[in-house]
Amino acid sequence: MAGSEGGIARVRGPWLAITLLALVGLTGTVGYAVLEGWSAWDAFYMTVITVTTVGYREVHELSRAGQVFTVLLLLGGVGAALYTFTLVAATVVEGGLPKRLQWRWRASMLETVSNHFIVCGYGRIGSTVARQLRRERVPLVVIDRDPIRCQAALDDGFVAIEADASREEILRRAGIERARGLIAVVGTDAENVYTVLSAHVLHPGLFIIGRAETEDAGHKLKRAGANRVISPYQIGAIQIARTALRPAVVDFVELATSSENLELAIEEIPVAASSALVSKSIAGASLRQRYGIIVVGIQRQDGTMEFNPEPDTAIRAGDKLVVLGPPPALKRLETEALS
């Protein structure tokens, strides 16, 4: 609450000073017009040169009442002008203006972002996930209740919300109805379970990945609605063992799955019902001959996976082809599969 009040004070300060300066200008203009009978422009011009202390000559000869009014205007107006200019300059120098512009940009992005991932948590894992998604040119929104981590996400160029990711109104603000998926990697298993549950209630069809530190937490995340549960410790241990036993295989997989590799990539490509690939076999579709790609596997619509399918294996609507090949060829195949 104290931080919020401080932010309100910083926002109100410059506008209050500008309003005060405008009142001084209005008072001076009206005062000269009434006391001296000057036109509105002459009265306003006299007020400006008096408050700014530029030292120009008087517009017209002043009466004694006009001279007294000028002294009072100098005493009050100069102080108001200095206060306003100092406060506005301090706001710009200290980053108040950039922060407000950043806030407006963030609000605009939250209203328009779609087909994006919501990354809940910006710790060591969350920040790595966010950077990987950016390398894949996938839009995302970060949610983290820690102000330091949230600011770190903003500094890294991400749209970020400083709040509790398990709150339904925050997930709505992050555009969960338009999201492609949600990744829950917040601090504890309990927070991840609550976040996944809230997301599943708001968007039952959303693809959700949850991080679990224990086996029990993994079961709870699945019951809460997570489509995939990842245990970093288990995956790390398996990767170490695989690297020790089969380093060449690990090097190949890393090469194929790295977003920085420009010559080879592995991708999953959904097959639309209207695609010309439907009902054709892998050999009949001539994928190897036309695109120079290898079909590593086919995930059927019911979730079953067929690894290293035979050439006469049929391609069906709703399948996901797991293919390996040059990125440009994968893009062309994706266009045909979705057309």
- Indicate if 209 and 123 belong to the same structural domain: yes
Pair of tokens at residue 55 = 């030292």
Nearby residues of 234 by Cβ (< 8 Å), 6 or more positions away: none
Q: What is the pLDDT of residues 67-125, one digit of tens each?
A: 888 888 888 787 777 777 777 776 666 555 566 666 677 777 888 899 999 999 999 99
Instruction: Name the band, by pLDDT with cuts 50, 70 and 90, for residue 4.
Output: very low
pTM passes above 0.75 = no
User: Do residues 132 and 220 share a domain?
Assistant: yes
User: Both 153 and 109 in a single domain?
Assistant: yes
Residues 75 and 114 in one domain: no
Query: For residue 254, is it within any domain?
Result: no
Please list, in sequence order, all residues whose beta carbon lies within 8 angstroms of the beta carbon of residue 292, skipping any fewer than 6 positions away: 325, 326, 329
- pLDDT tens per residue across span 212-271: 988 899 999 999 999 999 998 888 888 899 889 888 888 877 776 666 655 778 889 999
Say if strands 207-211 and 228-230 run parallel, antiparallel, or are unpaired. Answer: parallel
Question: What is the rounded distance in angstroms from the CA atom of residue 115 to the CA atom of residue 133?
Answer: 13
Residue type, 2: A
CA separation for the pair 76, 40 (Å, rounded)? 21
Residue span of the structural domain in which 48 resides: 2-94
* 268 and 221 within one domain: no
User: How many other β-carbons are positioned within 10 Å of the β-carbon of residue 127?
Assistant: 20
Predicted pLDDT at 11: 44
Residue 212: other Cβ atoms inside 10 A: 23
Tokens at 54, concatenated:
């530029």
Q: What is the pLDDT of residue 91?
A: 63
CATH code for position 269? 3.30.70.1450
- Spatial strand order of the sheet with 265-270 comes to 265-270, 320-325, 294-299, 305-307
Write the CATH number for 180. Answer: 3.40.50.720
pLDDT of 36-49, one tens digit each?
Answer: 889 899 888 888 88
**199 and 281 together in one domain:** no
What is the total count of domains within the chain? Answer: 3
Q: What is the pLDDT of residue 99?
A: 62
Amino acid symbol at 223: R
Distance CA 47, CA 26 (A): 9
Pair 156, 77 in one domain: no
- Does the pLDDT value for residue 9 go beyond 50? no
The pLDDT of residue 1 is above 50: no
Asked if residues 185 and 174 have their Cβ atoms less than 8 Å apart, the reply is no
State pLDDT tens for residues 134-156. 988 899 999 999 999 998 998 89
Asked, for residue 243, whether it belongs to a domain, the answer is no
The arithmetic mean of pLDDT across residues 284-297, rounded, is 91
> What average pLDDT does range 179-183 have in this prediction?
96
